[in-house]
Amino acid sequence: MKTEPRALARPPGPQLGFLRGFRTFRRDALGFLLHTARTYGDVAWFRVGPFDIYLLSHPDHVRDVLVAGHHAVTKSRVLQEARRILGDGLLTSEGNTHKRNRRLLQPVFHHQRIVEYGEVMAVYAARASERWRDGQELDLHEELMALTLAIVGKTLFGTDVEEADAQRVAGSLRTMFDMYDRFFMPFAEHLERLPLPANRRFWQAKASLDEVIFGLIRDRRADGDRGDLLSMLLAARDDGGGQETNGGMSDRQIRDEATTIFLAGHETTSIALTWTFYLLSQSREVEERLHRELDEVLDDRIPRPSDLPRLEFTRRVFSESLRLYPPAWTMGRSVAADLPLGGYVIPAGATALLSQYVIHHDPRWYPDPWRFDPDRWEPAAVAARPKYSFFPFGAGPRMCIGEDFAWMEGMLVLATIAREWQFGLLPGQVIDLQPRITLRPKYGMRMRLERR
């Protein structure tokens, strides 16, 4: 007797048609996810086009999917599509490739190496702020993008990189990610083959990116170690017995990892700092507390990595900014085998969606969740919350390998700039969110500078 397959009960959720799901996400992804979680509970189901999506909104689900259940999930469609840009870097690779590349990259992000880069971060931040004038009006987001671009260019590519090359890499990545949404539209696999202007711009940007990165790799192979991240990638060897290039990385692998590091070190940190200075501009009391700490610890000099343990309030300010405006605002995993979770079973082939933005704004863990309150990060308050109620860098084996780099850069740049300057929003500046690959300010961040 033939047995019918067992039907899997679905959790509640909004009923969206095939196209309405795409339109909803493009129009207001953050509002939709917040409403869905608050209306339907910690496990909710909805469909976007052909994709079954399970929105998981409890810290325990972060643990269950990203830590305990990491072996049962793979990268989501979003990251699969990102391979068109980033290749098989740590962000997008799977299985043995990911494990091997992470082993190869561990020395690159060793604590002592990051400390050395910390000196560069503070010096470059001080140099950038020296060009500003009291009363000057500027787009702070653009300024911070240029600053983090200079920092990642120096630490990744070394002293000999041309500024024009770094600008080409950043411009190419921006062009490609600006068109990223089209890969998720119906029939995208057919549309991308057409000789459309958008398709030509995408492939031209990719060719420009590869020309710069592969050129730098060739130069470094010829010239030898320059002490930068690119040199370390070239020198990396896998004690686990890799076969390619005697256990090292091929040029293609180095290109993929360098591009991923460049994006993560440039885009996300500048966005996090932009939101931090915006929040400070809206809370003079918090800003004054920050200034008092900086004056006491730094005594009119730029910060050093060794100062970070004493910059406790600075860290709380940056933590609270990452909570309110996490640059990585959501992450998805494709379920490889039926996954029991929260009283339901997520079927193989579905997408488990975890949103930092949703969980970071949950009043169960953060009372009055929209308020900017760095005191939430006092040790006793942190200990009282579930571990994964805060996960701006992910969790588990695929947690961002550059987390320490990001914390150091964020805190040192924040301290360097805030010791000299404070910012005020220009009249008419509209604050809105643009949730794409990262959580950008949609209309920039026009500010007026005021020297302390």
CATH number at residue 169: 1.10.630.10
Please give the tally of structural domains in the chain: 1
Q: Tell me how far apart the alpha carbons of residues 195 and 30 are, in angstroms, rounded to a whole number.
A: 33
- Report yes or no on 218 lying in a domain: yes
pLDDT digits (tens, 9 = 90+) for 253-271: 888 888 888 777 788 999 9
Q: Tell me how far apart the alpha carbons of residues 178 and 202 are, in angstroms, rounded to a whole number.
A: 9
pLDDT digits (tens, 9 = 90+) for 225-264: 777 778 888 887 766 544 444 567 888 888 888 888 877 7
Confidence of residue 321 (pLDDT cuts 50, 70, 90): very high
- On whether the CB atoms of residues 70 and 354 are closer than 8 A, the answer is no
pLDDT digits (tens, 9 = 90+) for 5-45: 444 578 999 988 767 777 787 789 999 999 999 999 999 99
Tokens of 181: 């949404």
| Placement of tokens 């933590």 in the chain | 319
Q: Tell me how far apart the alpha carbons of residues 116 and 84 are, in angstroms, rounded to a whole number.
A: 33
Confidence of residue 448 (pLDDT cuts 50, 70, 90): very high
Q: Tell me how far apart the alpha carbons of residues 426 and 447 are, in angstroms, rounded to a whole number.
A: 5
pLDDT digits (tens, 9 = 90+) for 366-388: 999 999 999 999 999 999 999 99
Host domain of residue 243: 18-451
Q: What is the mean pLDDT of residues 61-79?
A: 86
3-state secondary structure of 176: helix
pLDDT digits (tens, 9 = 90+) for 204-224: 888 888 888 888 888 888 877
How confident is the model at residue 380, as a pLDDT? 97
pTM above 0.75, yes or no: yes
pLDDT digits (tens, 9 = 90+) for 398-419: 888 889 999 999 999 999 999 9
- On whether the CB atoms of residues 330 and 352 are closer than 8 A, the answer is no
- Report yes or no on 387 lying in a domain: yes
Give the best-scoring range by mean pLDDT among 156-160, 175-179, 429-433.
429-433
Half-sphere exposure in the Cβ direction for 260 (13 Å, CA) = 25
- On whether the CB atoms of residues 447 and 137 are closer than 8 A, the answer is yes
How confident is the model at residue 133, as a pLDDT? 96
- Report yes or no on 140 lying in a domain: yes
C-alpha dist (Å) from residue 206 to 83, 152, 168, 214, 256: 12, 19, 10, 12, 12
- Report yes or no on 63 lying in a domain: yes
- Report yes or no on 9 lying in a domain: no
Name the nearest CA neighbour of 331 among 262, 394, 257: 394
- Report yes or no on 239 lying in a domain: yes
- Name residue 421's beta-bridge partners: 451
- Report yes or no on 171 lying in a domain: yes
- Report yes or no on 445 lying in a domain: yes
Confidence of residue 136 (pLDDT cuts 50, 70, 90): very high
